[in-house]
Structure 1
Amino acid sequence: MLEFTPGFFAIAVPAVIFAGISKAGFGSGAAFASASILAIVLPPGIALGIMLPLLMLVDVASLRPYWRRWSWPEARVLLTGAVPGVALGALFYRWADDDAIRLLIGAVSLGFVAWQLSVKRGWVRLGARPLPLSGGYPAGIVAGFTSFVSHAGGPPSAVFLLGRRLDKTTYQATTVLVFWAINIAKFLPYSFMGIFTAQTLLADLFLAPAALIGAWLGVRAHFLISERAFFALTYTLLTCTGAKLIWDALV
């Protein structure tokens, strides 16, 4: 049962603002931290149901500032792979219980941090040459799957797009376009599977201003704030929430 207590808003409002900043300013890679945070205090299905309409609102708010600044070849292959990935995610969700979803969200959270730190420290190298365009197909499948079950499609798409050596703004615009389309593709299955409820939609009405504020801040932060400072905070949040979700799932 979702209760609109002060404690709920104390957690949900900052989480939604953070998602807006990440999606609109820093390539969506860490926007799923908001779902991870909400899943600590809510059943994962309710957390996912609340976040999808808000993420879609951020998508719409972010499209105009980056309009036609994306790279269509990379977007096309990611979206082609994302379609079967979303279908696989729907199948997994129908099979999984709350603890399985908590475990997956927690594992993706910690895996994202481990991957980013490995790249930063030189333990993993993307290679001197850009990744082939065909690499977007498997990246899209993984992005579609993880996006459906945890709103965490950003990390696999980021690996591909960073490997393509896109500049900062082209990379950001491409993620905005890709996840605008993926989130639309998720909406209908979410509706049929009962993930949306009257309570989650009411929560969305309350939290919509926070999503728009986050999107507005994110577009400006894209040009003003260093990625290093933003992701340092992100890694800390994801490490704590990922560990907590895995612990809750196992015990």
Structure 2
Amino acid sequence: MITNPLFYAAAIPAVTLLGLAKGGFSGLGLLSLPLMALVVSPVQAAAITLPILIVQDVVSVWAYWRTWDKRNVVLLVSGAVAGILMGYLLAAQVPDAAIKLAVGVISIGFAIRRMLLERGATPPKAAPADTPRGLFWGWVTGFTSMIAHAGGPPFQIYVMPQKLPRDVFIGTGALLFAIINWIKVPPYMALGQFTSENLATAAVLFPVAIASTWAGVLLVRRVSGQSFYTAVYMLLVLVGAKLAYDGASALL
């Protein structure tokens, strides 16, 4: 187990952000790995984070039990399996900086465009959960989640135009990423990232993970559906900017 106090000074806020994201404030979790990477390597930070995410998934799936959209989950998981497998096979060849830059730019463009359309004289109608786009964005979600831990924005790009009820949107994401995180366990084991030190450190942070996820659930339920979607679009712009900046900085 890591005993350095500096690690926990960064890890506790990072896990709290993950919990708020799992509770419904999508996007905040992407700030957690950069925080933890200030005190440990990015690879170790990711290995410590995955068991924490799995514990948080239990809380979020339970909190939004049966409020997910089954068709979306089936389509996205089907695509995500192929994306995770390709991410595992290409982990050494594909720079995560390039993935972050691409996802960041696409996320910013999508979110700004949608906000402008929503505020127009005739807001767009809800988009259907169609098979080709569902499989494609599921693949992107799985691939970016495996390579750069950035699966949230692709999921949002596909699902948000459907204008699902707030809890259904959150519940769909909760179940999807719970499944994705379990699928990622064998690749992480194969890559040798689940050491006893990393697992013990993750276990110490479990109470913070559970409490912060519940806090996210309680806070998001105080927000109206329309305000929630506006907040998520704004978070998507900020997260996209963060991803684009990190990717461009690393590539340059």
TM bracket (short chain) = 0.7 to 0.9
Deviates more, 1:8-17 or 1:38-47: 38-47
Match of 2:37 in 1: 39
> Aligned residue for 1:86?
84
SS in 2 for 1:32: helix
Contact 1:36 1:242 in 2 (8 A): no
1:115 deviates by 3.5
Q: Does residue 111 of structure 2 align to residue 116 of structure 1?
A: yes
Shift of 1:150: 2.4
Q: How does 1:141-152 map to 2 (within 5 A)?
A: 141-152=139-150
Greater CA drift, 30-39 or 187-196: 30-39
C-alpha deviation, 1:11, in angstroms: 1.6
Superposed displacement of residue 106, structure 1:
5.7
Q: Which amino acid aligns with 2:245?
A: A
Tell me the CA shift for residue 198 of structure 1. Answer: 2.4
Alignment of 1:4-153 (within 5 A): 4-26=3-25, 28-96=26-94, 100-105=95-100, 108-109=103-104, 111-122=106-117, 127-134=124-131, 135-153=133-151
Q: Distance in 1 between matches of 2:127 and 2:241?
A: 30
Question: Larger deviation: 213-222 or 107-116?
Answer: 107-116
From 171, 174, 177, give the equivalent of 1:173.
171
TM-score, structure 2 as length reference: 0.83
For residue 230 of structure 1, report the CA deviation from its aligned partner: 7.3
Listed as ranges, the gaps of 5+ residues in structure 2 are: none
Change (3 A) 1:36 1:116: farther
The match for 2:218 is 220
CA-CA distance at 1:206 after TM superposition = 2.2
Query: Partner letter of residue 82 of structure 2?
Result: P
Mapped contact 1:36–1:106 kept (Cα < 8 A): no
Deviation of the 1:69 alpha carbon: 1.3
2:245 aligned partner: 243
Query: Root-mean-square deviation (CA), in Å?
Result: 3.0
In structure 2, relative to structure 1, the CA distance for the partners of 1:15 and 1:237 (3 Å cut) is: farther
Q: Give the residue type in structure 1 aligned to 2:70.
A: W
Matched residue, 2:207: 209
Give the 3 Å change call, closer, same or farther, for CA 4–108 of structure 1 in structure 2.
Answer: farther
AA aligned opposite 1:185: I
Distance 1:111 1:102 in 2: 14
The alignment of Structure 1 onto Structure 2 pairs a total of residues equal to 245
Distance 1:114 1:50, change over 3 A: farther
Q: 1:3 to 1:231 in 2, by over 3 A?
A: farther
Question: Matched residues in 1 for 2:235 and 2:172: separation?
Answer: 24
How many Å apart are 1:179 and its aligned residue? 0.8
- Which runs of 5 or more residues in structure 1 are unaligned? none
Residues in 1 aligned to 2:236 and 2:40: alpha-carbon distance in whole angstroms: 21
Moved more, 52-61 or 145-154: 145-154
Q: What is the CA–CA distance in structure 1 between the aligned matches of 2:178 and 2:78, rounded to whole Å?
A: 14
Deviation string 1:103-150 (CA, Å, 9 cap, x unpaired) is 534654565345323432449x99434134212110100011011122
8 Å Cα contact 1:25/1:218 also seen in 2: yes
Q: Residue 80 of structure 2 contacts residue 143 of structure 2 at CA under 8 Å; is this kept in 1?
A: yes
Q: 1:12 to 1:102 in 2, by over 3 A?
A: farther
1:156-208 superposed Cα distances (whole Å, 9 cap, x missing partner): 11121112221111111111111111111001111111122223212202221
Letter in 2 for 1:204: A
1:103 and 1:245 in contact (8 A); partners too: yes
Q: Give the 3 Å change call, closer, same or farther, for CA 143–230 of structure 1 in structure 2.
A: closer
Q: CA deviation at 1:244?
A: 4.7
How big is each residue's C-alpha offset from its partner over 1:216-239, in whole Å with a ceiling of 9 and x where there is no partner?
Answer: 111101212453567757755764
Change (3 A) 1:37 1:237: farther
